[in-house]
Amino acid sequence: MRHYFIVNPTSGPSDCTPVVQKALEGFKGQFEYEIYVTQAAGDATRFVREKCASCDEPMRFYACGGDGTLNEVVNGAALHSHAAVGCFPCGSGNDFIKYFGGKKHFSDIGAVLAGQEKPVDLMRVNDKYCINVANAGFESKVADRMARFRRFSFFTSQRAYYPAIVMTLFDGMHNKCRIIADGEKIFDGDMILCTMANGEYEGGSFRAAPRASVEDGLIEVCAVKSLSILKVPKAIGIYQKGGHLDSDYLLPYITYRRARKVTIESDGEFIMALDGEIHSAERFDIEMIPGGVNFIVPRGAVHAISEAPAAAEKAV
């Protein structure tokens, strides 16, 4: 089996290529591998897709970066049954792998190489794929601003995050949209945000989809109606802990549904973030693809099942 380590040198505070090289030193001669350093946005998808098309033998691709790098690798490997996708986290954000215990497992290169392949669901969003979370509204606007800020060397991911949030408070609190889930219109109006999730976490520490499963064939849909700016701090605290689906405080503002197909549209073009990657359109059609990609779960890593605490709002 051939192993490919796809390195994004611009993910995280510095080029992680030396880190990957050092991690693999102890495995030289034990298996066949190649380190590929991406050159530009979209390069990882192109590389993985071409490799999958050129050979039908089993192969593994490890995303060495953040969620955006994983998204690109997944888009190249999607629907290829002989390919599997893993992660060696080097980026500023690695939200999807929190479902399986997070960095402590995925940073152990030996455990990653010995990991088992597990078919997990994928969301197909128009002509792209998304493995973790697709969101519109406030969060997608923050992600877009962060990406713009990071073009300047001063702005690391952490430095870009807070100014992006502050700026978005002025123009991201009201977003007109319609949401159709499995043929039924469930929302039509003014929202702060809408999250369509396969995984549980986004934004580093926000448990946006506490009931998510990566193998149930269903999209977790959660729209939050626009609310007073005075209520936002408490709402954020509840949302971050994953208590929003059981919160009496947020009940009047939450629309929650599980669905196989979702459409979100507006009267004009708007942006959506797919695993943090920005795309724009007037309409996004999201369909869950059961077992759309084989994901490598490191040895010893499991999904830690934990219920969203109903009392989360009381702790805020």
CATH of the domain at 67: 3.40.50.10330
* pLDDT at 245 (0 to 100): 97
Alpha-carbon span 60 to 48, nearest angstrom? 10
Domain range for 105 is 2-114
Is 296 a member of any domain? no
3-state SS class at 178: strand
Is 266 a member of any domain? yes
Whether residues 166 and 280 share a domain: the answer is yes
The DSSP bridge pattern shows strands 59-64 and 83-87 to be parallel
Give the end of a domain, one of 59, 87, 114. Answer: 114
Give the Cβ contact number of residue 153 at 10 Å.
6
Interacting residues of 106 by C-beta distance below 8 A, sequence separation 6+ = 86, 87, 88, 89, 94, 97, 100, 112, 298, 301
Whether residues 136 and 109 share a domain: the answer is no
Whether the model clears a pTM of 0.85, i.e. scores above it, the answer is yes
- Contact between 257 and 181 (Cβ < 8 Å): yes
Interacting residues of 16 by C-beta distance below 8 A, sequence separation 6+ = 7, 8, 9, 64, 65, 90, 91
* pLDDT at 65 (0 to 100): 93
User: How many residues are listed for the chain in this entry?
Assistant: 316
Q: What's the per-residue H, E or C state across 22-77?
A: HHHHHHCCCCEEEEEECCCCCHHHHHHHHHHHHCCCCEEEEEECCHHHHHHHHHHH
pLDDT grade, residue 174 (50/70/90)? Answer: confident
pLDDT grade, residue 146 (50/70/90)? Answer: confident
Whether residues 49 and 84 share a domain: the answer is yes
- Contact between 282 and 270 (Cβ < 8 Å): yes
Whether residues 202 and 270 share a domain: the answer is yes
- Higher per-residue confidence, 204 vs 100: 100
- Higher per-residue confidence, 185 vs 29: 185
Is 15 a member of any domain? yes
Give the Cβ contact number of residue 206 at 10 Å.
19
Is 120 a member of any domain? no
Minimal CA–CA distance to 306: which of 192, 209, 184?
Answer: 209
Is 123 a member of any domain? no
